[in-house]
Amino acid sequence: MEAGGSVLRRHPKLIVLPMMSFLVFLIVTVAVIIPVAAPYGGVEAFLDSVEPKSPQTWVVLFAFYFSSMFVIILCNAALVLCALDVFSGRQPSVLGGLAVALSRWPQILMWTFVATTVGLLLNAMQSFLRDKLGASGSVVGGAVEFAWTVSTYFVLPLVVIEGAGPTKAVERSADILKRTWGEAVVAEGGLTILCWVLMLPTVPLVVLSIMISQNIGADWPTLIGVVLVLAYLLVVTLVVWALGVIFQAGVYVYATTGDPPGNMDGILLRQAFRRK
């Protein structure tokens, strides 16, 4: 992820796009959940009153998931475009990236619908398999979800750059993987490991704050520690999020042209996939 880190170091303003996604996610959460929960006397009462598998629950979940996903995909599309500008030696513009991404709103809207529907179906399938088969069902469900994630790895660049519809984008994404490298993307695993490593410093901070609270008989050190940990985790999440999208843009360029984009190591890109 060195290249992604290099892009962020030279253009830190790009972190604004993941921040926008997060802020809009919070706004959507409030806008969707609170009005639905209000007649029940609050969110907790609403959650206690509905059945987990009732149609009402699925409607609320779909509305929430769809709204959130649209904004996230839109901001990720803008970040892909900004990354491509950097790779081409141009100065990236957050507003310019958003403007171009918005010009693709029909394709992004259709892909959001597909991603939301498949995501909820996968969630329902995993719950069913886990209930019926236990741990082995979780493994099967996770494998299916991983296969979907891998096969759609290039969908976002294809949608925003080539204007492909969801069906064509999924077909092209899977075809690029099959033709070029084969069976699996390991970049997502690398990002997960990086995220966990960056989160390790939060453990001693929490322990230290609790110990101080116990020694002085006050709660404020623990409260400060929790606030600092949450702020740090938010920063880590946003940075890793941006790194993943930037790397995805670079891999797309390499997959479609055969040439690594500027500042990205061709060897690392080739290792992003395992050949058959």
For 206-260, the three-class secondary structure string (H helix, E strand, C coil) is: HHHHHHHHHHHCCCHHHHHHHHHHHHHHHHHHHHHHHHHHHHHHHHHHHHHHCCC
Q: Which domain holds residue 134?
A: 2-275
- How high is the pLDDT of residue 38? 61
Based on the structure, what is the number of domains in the chain?
1
Give the span between the Cα atoms of 134 and 238, in whole angstroms.
Answer: 33
Residue 175, C-beta contacts closer than 8 angstroms, at least 6 positions apart: none
Q: Which residue has the tokens 């979940």?
A: 61
Give the span between the Cα atoms of 269 and 267, in whole angstroms.
Answer: 5
The residue type found at 234 is L
Task: Identify which of 58, 68, 69 has the alpha carbon closest to the alpha carbon of residue 36.
Answer: 58
- Please calculate the CA angle 86-240-122 and round it to the nearest 5 degrees: 110
- How high is the pLDDT of residue 81? 92
* Residue 232: half-sphere exposure toward Cβ, Cα within 13 Å: 17
Give the span between the Cα atoms of 120 and 148, in whole angstroms.
Answer: 13
pLDDT tens digits, 194-243: 667 777 777 777 777 878 877 787 777 778 888 888 888 888 888 888 88
Whether the Cβ atoms of residue 246 and residue 7 lie closer than 8 Å to each other? yes
Q: Is 265 left (phi over 0), alpha (psi -120 to 50) or beta?
A: beta
pLDDT tens digits, 39-67: 665 555 655 555 555 676 677 778 888 88
Token couple for 97: 């990236």
Give the span between the Cα atoms of 8 and 17, in whole angstroms.
Answer: 12
More confident residue, 35 or 89: 89
Q: Would the pTM of this model clear 0.85, i.e. be above it?
A: no
The residue type found at 27 is I
Whole-number Cα distances in Å, 105 to 2, 129, 264? 31, 35, 29
Give the span between the Cα atoms of 36 and 42, in whole angstroms.
Answer: 9
What's the mean pLDDT in 94-98? 91
- How high is the pLDDT of residue 9? 80
Return the H-helix or E-strand segment holding 24.
Answer: helix 16-37
- How high is the pLDDT of residue 181? 55
Q: Could you please report the per-residue DSSP string of 34-87? A: HHHHGGGTSHHHHHHHS-TTSHHHHHHHHHHHHHHHHHHHHHHHHHHHHHHHHH
